[in-house]
Amino acid sequence: MFSRMVAFRFLWFGLSGLIVLLDQLTKWLVVANIPYGGSISLSSFFNLTLIYNTGAAFSFLSQADGWQRWMFVAIAFVTCIVLMVWLFRVAAKNKLLSLALALILGGAVGNLWDRWDLGYVVDFIDIYYKVWHWPAFNIADSAIMLGAFFIIIDLLFSNDMKKP
């Protein structure tokens, strides 16, 4: 029983590591092949467009004087610690929540890596309709959003919520 619980934990932390690897690899490929601000059209609604986000979600605080980098690094670091502890505690009990936490952790570490190393987050996925563009994002952001979606699903449909 103990070894099965340990294996589940390693599985989820391994998934987080895979997300970080995929995120960093795709960012490296885009930076190596697309000039800043440049774009490659892949379809009528999807481009690869290289931008740097010095702010948070949707470029929040991107126009600040640089202090936001270390504030976001600190917040992301603390968040990663909290996610690791939470994931370690639920890994064997709740697979959907574990998946959600692993995705969010991987995404948080991927963006933390950028912010620590570069001072900004590399974004490149550009989804649009005609002239309306969703803010550019990356694999880490996608993992975070998917993880948040799974947490909502878990909250709505978990058996713990149905108990009186």
Mean pLDDT by 10 residues, the chain (164 residues): 65 94 98 96 94 68 58 86 89 86 96 92 94 91 97 85 48
Q: Is 123 a catalytic residue?
A: yes
**Residue 84 phi, psi dihedral angles, 5° rounding:** -65, -45
Choose the catalytic residue: 23, 114, 126, 141.
141
Question: Which residues in 132-156 are b (16+ Cβ under 10 Å) and which e?
Answer: eeeebbbbbbbbbebbeebbeebee
114 an active-site residue?
Answer: no
Q: Do residues 142 and 62 touch, judged by C-beta distance below 8 A?
A: no
* CA 154, 156, 158, 164 torsion-angle sign: positive
| Tokens representing residue 58 in the block | 């949707």
Angle at 103 between CA 100 and CA 109, to 5 degrees: 135
Which one of 23, 114, 123, 126 is the catalytic residue?
A: 123
Q: What pLDDT was estimated at residue 88?
A: 87
pLDDT of res. 164: 45
